[in-house]
Amino acid sequence: MRPSLRNNLVVALGALVSAVAIAQGISSYQLCSSGMSALLDLRLEQVATRMRNGYAESIPATPVRGSQPSRDIVITIRKQNAEVPFRSTEPSLPLPEDAPAGFTSEQVNGERWRIYTLREPKTLIQVAQRSSVRDELERETAVKTLWPTLVLLPLVLGAVLLIVHVSLRKVNQLGNEVQGIDVSQLKLLPVSRVPVELLPFVDSINRMIGRLAQSIETERKFIADAAHELRTPLTALQLQADNLQPHIAPGNQERFRELRGGITRSGELVAQLLRLARADAPLPGGTIEPADVAAIVVDAVSSVLPLAAARGIDIGAEEMVTGKVTAIGADVAVAVRNLVTNAVRYTPDGGTIDLRMHTEDNAVWVEVTDTGPGISEELLPRVFDRFFRANLEVEGTGLGLSIVKAITAKYGGQAVIRNRNDGKSGIVAAVSFPLARSAVQA
């Protein structure tokens, strides 16, 4: 599993907040417990002081044994040289007479007691409270201080998750923009409102995109220049071959036809290379005149009708729609014509080719369905690779679908090739171009 910066930040900050919350809870618990203990001690001391100031007479002289609740404090007052207490709220509890003045903790009758002893010249005043009661009171009070921490901790952890998510939103936006970069759209990443920590990374990507764009442009110009330079000698060879044909001996006519075929194929390859270079070229500046796809489809079908009729291939249109797309008409024509030409090339004699147009997600789709042999599933991902040919028995340059892919990508469209799923052999080749803004508004 790949490491996640978001998860690492959430875990680290969550652990830090939790550790601080736990430390704060323990500290609050201990402070509250100590404060409660001091408050209970102060209560014992105040009661003893009041007994010294004349309140001892308010205690019954002969209280009922065991009548005092276990959570109450016990008061015992002794006179000098007296064998029994002068006053006591619990006569059955023998508090130690030799306890030092102040606070002590003693074991009496099998229980732990907190005792405050106040010694006067002729009077001994002792106020005691069970340690178990004190511990319970301290615990109940201290636990209440943990509730704010227990309530706030999930809220703080949620705030940490939200803050990390919002902080990394710009990173996600940059990631989406980087994913949208391809050969046909090498645009620089925006640097406005980019965090300072990400700016060096974005600048590095932009420099890389610049170098890549320059390299691709150099390659495109080389291909275009080479194709242009090759057209002239190939055209001259074609003319010379045409002029030479009447003078070829009958026995050499077959070889001569092979020679002319090679020259023709070379010319087609050069033409395809020129189209590929134009497809890879960036879009010109200014407004693009919307193109009528329906008219382009009709022209593409018309251009291949003679060849299709000679082979008995039936070309028909199932559905046509009227719509203009934001693309140069010549590029759309090349893409559609390549799909139709491929369909005619791979469809056996007597087969059928159906064209269908429809609009979906603000785009016009053109589908070409044939009754050819189809393409094996393992080769489908490679059909748009340059110079790749799925069927070597059929003549071709292997650049037609690459040109289609480059053209559609340049305008933000799509190119899709899939086998038919209606029980018949053949493929469905489809291209899409974004609808013009006026058509989208309509």
All domains of the chain in start order, with CATH = 7-144 (no CATH), 199-280 (1.10.287.130), 291-441 (3.30.565.10)
pLDDT at residue 238, as a whole number: 74
pLDDT computed for residue 228 by the predictor: 65
Strand 123-130 to 314-319 pairing: unpaired
- pLDDT confidence of residue 115: 92
Q: Given this model, what pLDDT does residue 274 score?
A: 67
- 339 with 429: CB under 8 angstroms? yes
DSSP 252: G
**pLDDT of 87:** 81
pLDDT of residue 231: 66
Helical H segments across 245-328, by residue range: 253-280, 293-310
264: its two tokens: 């023709």
Determine the pLDDT at residue 440. 45
CB-based burial of residue 365 (10 Å sphere; 0-12 exposed, 13-18 middle, 19+ buried)? buried
Nearest of 262, 260, 342 to residue 300 by alpha carbon? 342
pLDDT of residue 183: 61
Confidence (pLDDT) at 114: 92
Model confidence, pTM: 0.53
Would you call 51 exposed, middle or buried from its count of C-beta atoms within 10 A (0-12, 13-18, 19+)? buried
Q: Which residues of the chain have pLDDT under 50?
A: 439-442
User: What's the CA gap between 4 and 326, in Å, rounded?
Assistant: 40
Closest to 24 (Cα-Cα) out of 138, 153, 140, 137: 153
Residue with tokens 């015992």: 76
Q: What is the pLDDT of residue 190?
A: 75
Take residue 60 and report the two structure tokens written for it.
Answer: 């019954």
* Cα 85 to Cα 77: distance, rounded to the nearest angstrom: 6
